[in-house]
């Protein structure tokens, strides 16, 4: 390839986003069909549902969890719970495919021995969004968070450590993996309303897996 020929999409495989934050383009592509089959299994046992915020709003994103702990919200607050409030039973086990990919991605970003105990599954349909927030319900903030994007593209909003810091817009596409740690761990972030479309792997939606060490 000649020096002036642009690489496909002109994106490096590993893209630093901010101190402690690294975007791994396409890192989940090879595993995507396994990940989606495993998501289907998990959400059969623990169905996706629209949680209610402590403020009384129904979330537009539908959620479920797997692993020892699951993130839940209701009128009384946010918390991690070992049981699915819909069934009273433990969340489904974390599929090895999720665990392995998260540990590999974290290691690429310099976080060794990442052992997530919580995986939140977010499903976005067209129009669904996540308003700016921090993830601060986890015990050890030195542990990174790994997120895996599948299906329709989204515009991720990445702000600073103060809510009023103007967020940067970061496109995330099928197969992208992001590791958030160090100084980025408490950054405000969100997702713009999902644009309508269709994706061969997921149909008319986006899945995001958020892997965390919560307990
Ligand atoms: C940046 N989910 O579930 S994951 C969430 O695409 C959440 O569904 C988004 O934010 C989604 O809480 C984004 C990416 C993410 C997760 C945690 C972060 C980005 C982060 C923590 C600090 C900074
Ligand atoms: Fe978050």
State pLDDT tens for residues 121-133.
999 999 999 999 9
Residue nearest to atom 21 of ligand 1 (CA): 185
Would you say the CB of residue 64 lies under 6 angstroms from ligand 1? no
User: In this structure, which ligand is nearest to the CA of 182?
Assistant: 1
CATH code, domain carrying 205:
2.60.120.590
- Local confidence band at 5 (pLDDT 50, 70, 90 cut-offs): low
Residue 180 pLDDT > 90, yes or no? yes
Residue 1 pLDDT > 60, yes or no? no
Q: How far is the CA of 31 from the centre of ligand 2 (A)?
A: 23
- Local confidence band at 2 (pLDDT 50, 70, 90 cut-offs): very low
Would you say the CB of residue 73 lies under 6 angstroms from ligand 1? no
pLDDT recorded at residue 9: 60
pLDDT recorded at residue 20: 94
**Rounded mean pLDDT, 201-205:** 98
Tell me, letter by letter, the H, E, C secondary structure of the chain. CCCCCCCHHHCCCEEEEECCEEEECCCCCCCHHHHHHHHHHHHHHCCCECCECCCCCECCCEEEEECCEEEEEECCEEEEECECCCCCCECCCCCHHHHHHHHHHHHHCCCCCCCCCEEEEEEECCCCCEEEECCCCCCCCCCCEEEEEEECCEEEEECCCCCCCCCEEEEECCCCEEEECHHHCCCCEEECCCCCCCECCCECCEEEEEEECCC
- Encode pLDDT of 84-122 as tens digits: 999 999 999 999 999 999 999 999 999 999 999 999 999
Range of the structural domain that residue 176 is part of: 3-212
Average pLDDT, the chain: 95
Domain count, the chain: 1
Q: How far is the CA of 190 from the centre of ligand 1 (A)?
A: 7
């Amino acid at each position: 390839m000649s020096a002036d020929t642009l690489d496909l999409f002109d994106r490096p495989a590993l893209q630093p986003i901010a101190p402690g934050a690294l975007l791994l383009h396409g890192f989940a592509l090879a595993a995507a069909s396994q990940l989606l089959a495993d998501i289907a299994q998990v959400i059969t046992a623990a169905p996706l549902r629209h949680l209610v915020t402590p403020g009384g709003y129904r979330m537009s994103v539908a959620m479920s969890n797997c692993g020892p702990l699951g993130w839940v919200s209701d009128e009384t607050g946010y918390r991690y719970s070992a049981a699915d409030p819909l069934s009273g039973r433990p969340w489904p086990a974390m599929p090895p495919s999720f665990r392995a990919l998260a540990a590999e991605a974290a290691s690429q970003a310099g976080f060794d021995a990442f052992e997530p105990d919580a995986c939140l599954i977010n499903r976005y349909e067209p129009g669904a969004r996540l308003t700016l927030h921090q993830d601060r319900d986890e015990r050890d903030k030195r542990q990174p968070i790994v997120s895996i994007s599948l299906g329709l593209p989204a515009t991720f909003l990445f702000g600073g450590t103060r809510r009023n810091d103007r967020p940067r817009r970061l496109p995330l596409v099928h197969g992208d993996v992001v590791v958030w740690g160090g100084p980025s761990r408490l950054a405000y972030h969100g997702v713009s309303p999902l644009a309508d479309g269709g994706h061969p792997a997921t149909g008319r939606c986006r899945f995001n897996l958020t892997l965390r060490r919560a307990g």
